[in-house]
Amino acid sequence: MNYTTHAEMTVEVEYSHQPAEPDVNCAGGVEIESVTFCGMDILAGLSGGSVKDLELEILEHLAGQREAYDEEKAEARMDQRRYTA
């Protein structure tokens, strides 16, 4: 007998992102609007756990992008300080 417990596939995910806004008590988050595989939207067929996993992966990706942006901005400020000093 052959059991598949985990399969990975490349999908296209469309989502909306609301950043956290603590000053207005908004926690923020991600809402997945569609998950497309081979031209078909498969979101309705995904388990709640799979959707949560995708949401977490998106949030981690966005956090990584934000971190990279912040580091790049900090480096640019340091370079500017070196040239003006």
In a domain, 67, yes or no: yes
Q: Are the C-beta atoms of 63 and 40 separated by less than 8 Å?
A: no
pLDDT tens readout for residues 23-82: 888 777 899 999 999 999 999 999 999 899 999 999 898 888 877 777 777 777 777 776
Domains: count for the chain: 1
Q: According to the model, what pLDDT value does residue 33 have?
A: 96
How many angstroms separate the Cα of 24 from the Cα of each of 17, 31, 41, 72, 80? 16, 19, 34, 28, 34
Place of tokens 């992966």: 57
In a domain, 7, yes or no: no
- Taking every pair of Cα atoms in the chain, the longest distance, rounded to a whole number of angstroms, is 71
- pLDDT band for position 4 (50/70/90)? low
Q: Are the C-beta atoms of 39 and 25 separated by less than 8 Å?
A: no
Q: According to the model, what pLDDT value does residue 68 have?
A: 74
CA angle 14/44/6 to nearest 5° reads 85
The model scores a pTM over 0.85:
no
Tell me the residue range of the domain where 51 lies.
12-84
